[in-house]
Amino acid sequence: MYKRSFLDISSLKREEIDGLVRLAARLKAEKKAGIEQQYLQGKNIVLLFAKDSTRTRCSFEVGAFDQGARVTYIGSSGSQMGKKESIEDTARVLGRMYDGIEYRGYGQEIVETLAEYSGVPVWNGLTNESHPTQFLADLLTITEHSDKPLEQIKVCFAGTADNNVALSLMVGCAKMGIEYSAAAPAAYHPDATLVERLRRENGARITISEDVATAVAGADFIYTDVWVSMGEPTEVWAERIERLAPYQVNRRMMELTGNPNCRFMHCLPAFHDLETTVAQEIHRQFGLSEMEVSDEVFESEASIVFDEAENRMHTIKAIMVATLSEQPETTF
Ligand code: CP
């Protein structure tokens, strides 16, 4: 992975994904044992966040600090990029100053352009189309919470099965041999051509169904995400709530899996209570006090969402180390 960018899951081989998760697990164990080795001393990293973030930003910052690198954070209004300076020119400038560039924002073509013109590794911190660093954290979390070989694990995504998180999860599961299903209304099914390609190229076992019972049967992990993603207009709320309400992850859905050991996953943030201004506004307009997941499931023993959130940092750290360090033990 040395000197390579990390732009989407599709462009990675199974061995590379496996190598990144193994490296993350090692760095995690070494950090907890107080024996972490620093591979990024002297490196400078810039974080471009055109959209807000808690987990991804903090993961890049803490991961870089742990590894001895220095970080510059630039928010949505903190640079000339896209306003007075093109993506291409910005990439060429940043590539002269930094060893690696993270980008969170809009189209996938933006991270691809940054990678093409900067000459340094670029990491996708979320685009409209994909959220590949999230998948690595999901995979590490799945391996920590299951004793089964990957080929015997089933992951079911409930809700907006065509959003960036769900698509990276589906592609990642296909690459890793994990069975994947989605419980979703037809309007939010992933592109059928992509599903067919994953089946053809990876022998992927993928079921996309409007029927909740069919999709969740036998699942080891139920995964969901917010019904409206960052950047989408508030006008879509009414339609999303009406269509997605039957796909809320709640106790009934968890029981429908037939698997008492089924775990609940969520990339976060989650609308499971009324403790946020957005949730309060939704409650005022639509009367809902929880959305994609019930508070009962979110707070249950089955919920592993905070392990998953912590693993964002260990896996993002692994991505930075693998792409910026040429030490033999980080090279694969
Ligand atoms: N899951 C995730 O990407 O979280 P943030 O939006 O807080 O980075």
- pLDDT tens track for 95-131: 999 999 999 999 999 999 999 999 999 999 999 999 9
pLDDT band for 171, please (50, 70, 90 cuts): very high
Q: How many whole angstroms separate alpha carbon 152 and alpha carbon 279? A: 37
- In this structure, are residues 289 and 274 in contact, taking their beta carbons and an 8 Å threshold? yes
Does 131 qualify as catalytic in the annotation?
yes
pLDDT band for 39, please (50, 70, 90 cuts): very high
Could you tell me the CA-to-CA distances from 205 to 154, 156, 269, 293 in Å, in that order? 9, 12, 29, 25
Q: Return the structure tokens found at 14.
A: 């199974």
SS3 at position 189: coil
Q: Are strands 70-74 and 154-158 parallel, antiparallel or unpaired?
A: unpaired
Burial state string for 271-303 with b = 16 or more CB within 10 A and e = fewer than 16: bbeeeeeebeebbeeeebebbbbbbebbeeebb
Does 243 qualify as catalytic in the annotation?
no
Pocket test for ligand 1, best of 55, 104, 124, 138 (most atoms within 8 A of CB): 55
Does 67 qualify as catalytic in the annotation?
no
Q: How many whole angstroms separate alpha carbon 296 and alpha carbon 77? A: 38
Cα–Cα nearest to 90, from 98, 81, 99: 81
Pocket test for ligand 1, best of 59, 267, 305 (most atoms within 8 A of CB): 267
What mean pLDDT is predicted for residues 278-305?
96
Q: How far is the CA of 203 from the centre of ligand 1 (A)?
A: 30
pLDDT band for 233, please (50, 70, 90 cuts): confident
Residue 232 reports pLDDT greater than 90: no
Q: How far is the CA of 284 from the centre of ligand 1 (A)?
A: 25
- In this structure, are residues 105 and 267 in contact, taking their beta carbons and an 8 Å threshold? no
**Can you give the pLDDT at residue 51?**
96
Q: How many whole angstroms separate alpha carbon 156 and alpha carbon 265? A: 10
pLDDT band for 229, please (50, 70, 90 cuts): confident
What mean pLDDT is predicted for residues 41-63?
98
- In this structure, are residues 140 and 315 in contact, taking their beta carbons and an 8 Å threshold? yes
Cα–Cα nearest to 111, from 11, 229, 227: 11
Residue 234 reports pLDDT greater than 90: no
The ligand 1 atom at the shortest distance from the C-alpha of residue 52 is 6
Q: Is the shortest distance between the CB of 56 and ligand 1 below 6 Å?
A: yes
Does 92 qualify as catalytic in the annotation?
no
Nearest CA to ligand 1 atom 6: 53
The ligand 1 atom at the shortest distance from the C-alpha of residue 268 is 1
Q: Residue 250 CA to chain centroid, in angstroms?
A: 22
With tokens 């929880």, the residue in question is 290
Taking only the tens place, the pLDDT of each residue in 20-33 is: 999 999 999 999 99
Residue 319 reports pLDDT greater than 90: yes
**Can you give the pLDDT at residue 37?**
97
Q: Return the structure tokens found at 78.
A: 């903190």
Q: Give me the phi and psi of 48, to 5 degrees please.
A: -105, 110
Percent of all residues in the chain with a pLDDT value above 70, rounded to a whole number: 100
Residue 328 reports pLDDT greater than 90: no
Q: How far is the CA of 78 from the centre of ligand 1 (A)?
A: 20
The ligand 1 atom at the shortest distance from the C-alpha of residue 54 is 7
Taking only the tens place, the pLDDT of each residue in 66-92 is: 999 999 999 999 899 999 999 999 999
Q: Give me the phi and psi of 253, to 5 degrees please.
A: -65, -45
Return the half-sphere exposure (C-beta side, CA atoms, 13 A cut-off) of residue 6: 31
Pocket test for ligand 1, best of 53, 124, 169 (most atoms within 8 A of CB): 53
Catalytic option among 55, 263, 312, 314:
312
Q: How many whole angstroms separate alpha carbon 138 and alpha carbon 127? A: 17
SS3 at position 159: coil
Q: Return the structure tokens found at 186.
A: 């037809």
What mean pLDDT is predicted for residues 171-186?
98
Which H or E run includes 306?
helix 305-324
What mean pLDDT is predicted for residues 220-243?
92
Does 189 qualify as catalytic in the annotation?
no
Q: How far is the CA of 215 from the centre of ligand 1 (A)?
A: 26
Q: How far is the CA of 258 from the centre of ligand 1 (A)?
A: 30
Percent of all residues in the chain with a pLDDT value above 90, rounded to a whole number: 96
Name residue 41's amino acid.
Q
Does 104 qualify as catalytic in the annotation?
yes
Q: What integer best gives the mean pLDDT of the chain?
A: 97
Catalytic option among 134, 173, 240, 314:
134
